[in-house]
Amino acid sequence: MIDDIDSNDGVMPSVKATEVSAVTPTNQAIYEAGKSMLIESVGIGREFCKFMIGTSMGAIPIYLALLKFVLPEEYVPTVRVGILSLVPAVLFLVAGIIFLIGYFPQQGVASLDIPAEIESERRTTVRRRQRIGITGFTVFCISVVAALLITGSMLRMPKENGYSDPSKNGTEQSHAADRAAHGS
Amino acid sequence: MSKETIEIEGCTQCGGTHTYTLEVERAVIIKMMTVSDMSERCRSVKVTRLFVCPVKKEQYQATFYLEDTSSSRIKDVSVVGLAGDASDD
């Protein structure tokens, strides 16, 4: 006979268990999943920020290269067009900086003897990284849309914006020369 | 948060009876009591939690029922430990 080793010290139980069983395989799997979610929750936000730093910063040269590819070689943009076309690159940089802030190590104090403190620190960290991740991703999406819009509009750049077509200039000059020759 | 004790008879690991302390988090809703609230019956909430047998140090699960009302809804139930356990030996 096994003695009950826990002494109640006169504590009257208010609840009685109705079903007692070994941990079912489903519950065990759910428990393990919950454990890994809890343990990985801090690292996942950090990994996402780390991945997005590379994506955001890498998008800057890609966008500039795309712009260079789309625009003609002799194109000289106006100040307004130049500033407008740099907006997506700046937004990618801002998104990258936001993700960098999320990836940056942060300081906190928690006593290992007090699980509540550890849980509080964990929640604070997860919430902070989630807010930063959402903000950074929003800025990233805006910059992608802006890049698409500006690149698309550059494809249909009208001639009046300082761009002169060399082949058409040659034709116009020859027509002018013909008119001058016929006139004289 | 309120503390309640639960007695588990017939532990699947050692066959004994153990008493644990539960921490019950309730959402207290302050509202005007109406006639229907006066005659409101408590609702039974089925809760399944994992417990650790103090003899075999193995886990097992137990299902129990707690009661709540519309002004005191149960949000979370967590197992604190053995009732009256002062040390972690």
Ranges of residues in chain B with a pLDDT under 50 are 86-89
A26 CB within 8 Å of a chain B CB: no
Share of chain A above pLDDT 70, in %: 78
pLDDT of residue A138: 97
Whether the pLDDT of residue A27 is over 70: the answer is yes
pLDDT of residue A10: 55
B78 CB within 8 Å of a chain A CB: no
A8: nearest CA partner in chain B: B84
Whether the pLDDT of residue A49 is over 50: the answer is yes
With tokens 């929750």, the residue in question is A41
Q: Give the pLDDT mean for A156-161.
A: 56
pTM: 0.63
pLDDT of residue B72: 84
Query: Who wins on pLDDT, B47 or A160?
Result: B47
Mean pLDDT score across all residues of chain A: 81
Q: Which of B6, B19, B22 sits opposite A6 (nearest CB)?
A: B19
In order of A162, B24, B50, B51, the CA distances from B79 in angstroms are 74, 9, 8, 7
pLDDT of residue B65: 92
Grouping H, G, I as helix, E, B as strand and the rest as coil, residue A97 is helix
Is A20 in contact with B11 (CB distance < 8 Å)?
A: yes
pLDDT of residue A158: 57
pLDDT of residue A102: 92
In the structure, what pLDDT confidence band is assigned to residue A55 with cuts at 50, 70 and 90?
A: very high
Q: Do B60 and A21 touch (CB under 8 A)?
A: yes
Q: How many Å lie between the alpha carbon of A109 and the closest alpha carbon of chain B?
A: 23
Q: How many Å lie between the alpha carbon of B29 and the closest alpha carbon of chain A?
A: 23
The yes/no answer to whether this complex scores an ipTM above 0.85 is: no
State the Cα–Cα distance between residues A75 and A26, nearest whole angstrom: 66
pLDDT in tens, A60-105: 999 999 988 888 777 788 898 889 999 999 999 999 999 999 998 8
Residues of B in contact with A3 (CB under 8 A): 16
